[in-house]
Structure formats: structure tokens, C-alpha cells
Chain A
């Protein structure tokens, strides 16, 4: 599994300029004041993302948990659980969407055939009062959607970087944690192993003006990521700017003792990052 080729930076710039001129970004204003969640944004969005394909109710195949209020708009924890059966087959892909963000598609995850991923948690920027939804595609080709409504906290909790210099200084640094079955709060695991992958990256949203040149700095974010063990794909992600600074993924999968876990990532500036960790059988 290789990482998708880097999209041309000029396209990003072009889009940024387009957005500025158009000034028609779906911004917080309308959604912010609405107290009753309506799905107008999604109704207009789903065709762009999924075409004419029917989207059914998740019915427990995929569930989503998020705080009702985004206390820190820059870091909103999202938790996904998957539960499939023989009829639908496994989940091939999950698309994570924040309706009211200027970049609604936060990420598209693909899962390896025998990866056995049952749980995935990450963190998002939530720009406004918004539905956060997850759409799973099962092996039978059907789409299953679940959603939750998140209220942006408003006020000075902006979905922006807190420590920009630090973020850039350690760009691309990765950390992998393996949670053992003995960890309190976790159910005892058999083959499934829980891991957490962290990548230092500003995952910059763009449109910040360079104060010296007066030009807009293009968005700079992780756009491709793969996690594999041995030759086996665990999962890959195609990401956008709605993933929080220092992207963070905690997931459970069927681990094979003794095989290394390998992570490759690429960002919009063409930088590639990779790291590898041995997975001791003792940690399973």
C-alpha cells in the first residue's frame, strides 16, 4: 500500500484564493445562532461526497460518540465503534464529516481486509454548531450513517493552533503507544490490541496571512497516512484540515505478535514521514 501522490500545492493555493474572492464560505454565523439542528447543510453536501448512492441508517454497524459541547473547538474527541455481521461483511471504509466546517470531509479511512478494526478514535476541529457524522461502507457496497450534534463552545475557544512554533519545530515526529490488556478501564483483550498513533503536525488550516509578505500561507496538513503490520494494511487515511493539530488516532485491531508496525504519512508540502515499531508478543 503506497501513499497517494501529493496533490499539487498550486491547487491548494488556487482554492484558497477562490475562497477569498468568493467570500461565500459556509461560515459559522447561520449555524451558530440556530438552536435546533437542521440537516440542510448535509442535504446539499451528500451528493457531492457520495453521488446518488443511497445512505442507510447505521443500525449499530457503526456508532459515534462526541461531547455535546466542543469545549475546545480545536480538539474535539470523536469515538467510533464498529460492529458488523456476516450479512453486511466487514467495514471497508469510513468517511468522517463535520457538516458546518468549511472543509466538511474531515477524513476517509480505509481498513485492511483482515485488520479487524473495531474501534477508532480521533480529534477534530469543530468550527460551529454542527453535526458530526460517520458513514461506513461495508463489503456489500452499502452505506450506513450515524451522526451526533456538537455545539461549538464559542467564545475564545478558536479552532486554531495553540503553539505554532512548537508544532513546526517537531514536525513529523511520531509516537506509538500500545495499551496492554491489563490497562484499567479496558476490557480484557484476546487478539485485539489497542494502539495510539500520534503525529506532530500543525495540520494548518491555511488562510493565515504572512505579516511580512502579505500573502496567504497555503494550508499545510497531513493528507495521506497508512498504518501497516508486516505486509498487512491495518488502515489508511486521506485527511483534511478538520483533523486537529498533532493528528491522533487510537484504534483497536487484530495484531499479529512479533511483526513490526509501520506508519507512513505525507503532507501537502510533499514531506514524507515514517516510523516503525516492533510489536512484542509480551505486549499483547
Chain B
């Protein structure tokens, strides 16, 4: 047995430093009043803001996903904090423009930066951060990478306040939260969009908050399991909701029709990739043409399709 060489050490280096320890800066003094996020009341006590179908960038302050809040008799629950602390603060301002009730819960639907980068804005509200039981693990593995990799697109000013804040209340299976005569049913799903997808159902209004399990217009992104996502579409459709707030797309959207677009894309992607694998086409070639028939149906197709195809290829090879 040989002693470990410098070379062996070079192979066991470390990908991610732990999250949250770097670049912590005190929040800016909030002397100037923060503008409220232009949310709309989609039904009694349920407010949502529709993000833009774009990549996160300095000029959109990361406001690309849908964020929402629900007001009960006693308290407020927020669903996703947005893609920057700036957006998160505007969301807090939008809530405060409508109610003085305490913000009891900040629910993160999953790990992606557009949904969690605003968490630090809720630090002073005392909200309990709620997430899928896999979310802390996912953020540990990715947090520092996210903080680094968005710096170019978002700019250092927006990034300065952003911190990775993992949930402290973890959801396994199904669990209810009560806002005072208003019960929310949270459900932790098996791996689909990510391995930490959480949905929220508001019984009172019949509103279903899908997180990124539902994409409309914005091409779905694959960061979990294509097969897992497809396999859970039927169960998703079975949720007896009046309408949905998707992770990306129009607010509100008809349910379960909201799932139609992504289902068609998944089918095309899986079909093309399966054929390539069967024909022995290497991954690098196959991903160039997979799901090409879907190009004109989506925004951000060029930004995400090859990546989705790559992940799908690696997964479907094991079938």
C-alpha cells in the first residue's frame, strides 16, 4: 500500500464549503421605505405575485417565480421568498400593507434560488421557515455554489444580503399548519423537480400552490427525476383544487389543466431520449436534438433544454 500522494489528495478535494458562513453582511439600514411587491388578491385572503419568465438577473432583481401569501384569522403564511432579499423585502411590505397579523410561517417550496434567496428578508418577522425534510441537505450541498454562481448574473449589490437560510420546521408526508380558522395542508413529494418539492393546499379557498412541480410558459427545469415527476403527475392531478398558483406561469391557473403543458414536454423529452439510448447515440449527441419539437411552445427553451436532456439521459439509461 502506497502512501497518499499529492495526487491522491488532489482527487479528494472538496466541492462545497458549508453554506451560510461566507460573506455575511449586516442588512442595510432600512431608512427608506420599501416599495410593496405588486401582488394581486386572487381569492379571499390569498395574494400572489407572478414572476417574469426570465433568467434571474440584476435588472429583474431575481423576481422570476411566483410568490404568495395567505392571511388567516390569526396569522400569515408566506409561500416562497423570491430571488433576492430586495424582492423578499418588497413582499414583506406588500403583506404589511394589508395586515398587521404576525407572519408565522415562511414556506419554501424547494431549494432553487428564485424561491429562497429572499429568506433573509424575513429574519426580523420571526417567521418559522418550513420546508421538505430533504431541503436542509440539498441546501448544504448547493448553498455556497448558488451564492457564487449567481454573482455574475445578479451583481454583487443584490447578492450582498443574500444568505442561505434552511428550514427549521421539516415536513415529511403530509402535515397541516393552522393560521386561525384557515388550515393549510403541506405535502412533501417524492423526487420530481428536485428531491425536496413541497406543495401547499389552502382548504378554505381551494387554492393549490404547486411550487415548481408545475411550470407554465417557462420551460420546466430538471433537477431531480424525470421519471419521478412523470410518475407523480396523476397524484398531482388528483388534488381537488379550484385553481393553482404554479411555480412559474400565470396566476391563477386552471387546475389540473395547468399540468398539460409540462406533461406534453416530458413525454417528448422521454420519447426522444429513450430512442437515442436504444440506438446507441452518445449523450453528447443525443442532447442536441431531444425534445426539439417543443421549442416553440416555451420560453427559455435554449437556456434549459440541453440541461434537461442531459439529466434525462443519465436517468433513463438505467431503465
Contact = CB atoms under 8 A, between A and B. Distances in A.
Interface string A157-194: 11111111110000000010001000111100000001
A103 B11 contact: yes
A162 B190 CA distance: 12
Contacts of B228: 163
Interface in A220-241: 223, 238-241
Which of under 10, 10 to 19, 20 to 34, or 35 or more describes the interface residues of B? 35 or more
A105 B11 contact: yes
Interface string B128-149: 0000001011101110111011
Given A77-B284, A179-B280, A205 B318 contact: no
Interface in A101-115: 101-108
A205 B191 contact: no
A49 B144 CA distance: 28
Given A105-B7, A156-B221, A166-B191, A219 B149 contact: no
Interface stretch (A23-31, A137-145, A257-265, A274-282): A23-31
Interface stretch (B39-47, B119-127, B309-317): B309-317
Nearest to B311: A72
Given A33-B152, A104-B10, A162 B223 contact: yes
Interface in B1-51: 1-2, 4, 6-18
A129 B284 CA distance: 19
B149 A164 contact: no
B177 interface: no
Nearest to B283: A77
A25 B175 CA distance: 41
Interface in B216-264: 221, 223-225, 228
A125 interface: yes
A125 B15 contact: yes
B152 A154 contact: yes
Contacts of B1: 4-5
A203 B318 CA distance: 17
A23 B14 contact: no
A8 to B, nearest CB: 8
A158 B279 contact: no
Given A7-B8, A75-B310, A211-B136, A250 B282 contact: yes
B137 A32 contact: no
Best-surrounded residue of B1, B2, B10, B140 (most CB of chain A within 10 A): B10
Given A121-B282, A241-B13, A166 B152 contact: no
Interface string A241-252: 110101010100
Nearest to B10: A105
A58 interface: no
A71 interface: yes
Highest count of chain B CB atoms <10 Å: which of A72, A152, A165, A211? A72
A165 B10 contact: no
B16 to A, nearest CB: 5
A20 interface: yes
B153 interface: yes
Contacts of A118: none
B34 to A, nearest CB: 26
A185 B281 CA distance: 7
Contact of B314 (A79, A123, A156, A211): A123
Contacts of B75: none
B112 interface: yes
Interface string A27-67: 11100110000000000010011000000000000000101
Nearest to A27: B148
User: Which of A156, A161, A194, A209 is packed against the most chain B CB atoms within 10 Å?
Assistant: A156
Q: Which 10 A-B pairs have the closest CB atoms?
A: A240-B11, A103-B13, A102-B13, A205-B15, A183-B280, A71-B307, A154-B149, A160-B141, A5-B1, A77-B284
Interface of A: 4-5, 7, 11-12, 15-16, 19-20, 23, 25, 27-29, 32-33, 45, 48-49, 65, 67, 71-72, 74-75, 77, 79, 101-108, 121, 123, 125, 127, 152-166, 175, 179, 183-186, 194, 198, 200, 205-209, 211, 216, 219, 223, 238-242, 244, 246, 248, 250, 268
23 contacts: A7-B8, A19-B13, A25-B13, A27-B17, A27-B144, A29-B148, A32-B152, A79-B282, A103-B11, A103-B14, A104-B10, A127-B15, A157-B149, A158-B146, A162-B224, A163-B191, A179-B280, A185-B281, A186-B280, A206-B14, A207-B15, A219-B14, A242-B11
